[in-house]
Amino acid sequence: MEALVIVPTYNERENVSELIRSVLSVDDRLEMLVVDDNSPDGTGEIVDEIAERESRVHVLHREGKMGLGSAYITGFKWALEKTDAKYIFEMDADFSHDPNALPEFLHEIESCDLVIGSRYLKGITVVNWPLSRLFLSCGANLYTRIVTGLPLKDSTGGFKCFRREVLEQLPLDTIKSDGYSFQIEMNFICWKKGFRIKEIPIIFVDRRVGISKMSRSIIWEAAFMVWRLRFMNPSRWK
């Protein structure tokens, strides 16, 4: 296995089959791990059926809705323990992240440690978001840069590719944040550890079907997280 794309799911039955087909067709080096939080709509069962006939698809079932951050941590640990994947992706299940961008990530990761798909690197490349959501996202990224010094245009996005060696050196067991704050925390620790981070522009399109998982609790968690990162003990990331 050269690269593993980790996709957390909760009630994504309308997207997951097509997403798997799209990702696997883009590059033969890619395999997928779906981490499903016991979706009531049967998403996990759909992926099980696909995995039975497609060896490049893997699935982990969790007992319930436990959050995006913990889903990725579970996926990262599985990738490190069960595979020899050199590159490990984060990717949303709702087609807001274009599978056709995956080969560019694979090209860029050859010369750096973490590649981040940025919605704000070259202007604003977001499609179909309401202005309120766009202002929230832009404001969150500006706020993060000011408070933490993290030199990224888009520190809250979730389309990313890590070198295996990066995840092996991160304190995965201590990362408990979710949503926006999970992405910020992961990026911040990578930056503080001196890993080479590169942003590349992506086109982000709001989900086609299904319901957004954004909530007020996720927003408030991120707002407080950046201050915790600013004053975090440096031993946390060494």
Percentage of the chain modeled with pLDDT above 90: 79
Confidence category of residue 41, pLDDT binned at 50, 70, 90: very high
Closest among 106, 128, 130 to 117, alpha carbons compared: 106
Per-residue pLDDT of 146-195, as tens digits, reads: 999 999 999 999 999 999 999 999 999 999 888 789 999 999 999 999 99
**Residue range 127-145: mean pLDDT, rounded:** 91
Its pTM stands at 0.92
Confidence category of residue 235, pLDDT binned at 50, 70, 90: low
Could you say which DSSP state residue 28 is in? T
H-helix segments, the chain: 16-26, 43-53, 68-82, 102-108, 131-148, 164-169, 179-192, 216-230
Quick one: pLDDT at residue 209?
62
Quick one: pLDDT at residue 188?
95
Q: What does the mean pLDDT of the chain come to?
A: 92
Which amino acid makes up residue 83?
T
Q: In this structure, are residues 99 and 30 in contact, taking their beta carbons and an 8 Å threshold?
A: no
Q: In this structure, are residues 148 and 224 in contact, taking their beta carbons and an 8 Å threshold?
A: no
Res. 211: pLDDT tops 90? no
Confidence category of residue 215, pLDDT binned at 50, 70, 90: low
Quick one: pLDDT at residue 218?
67
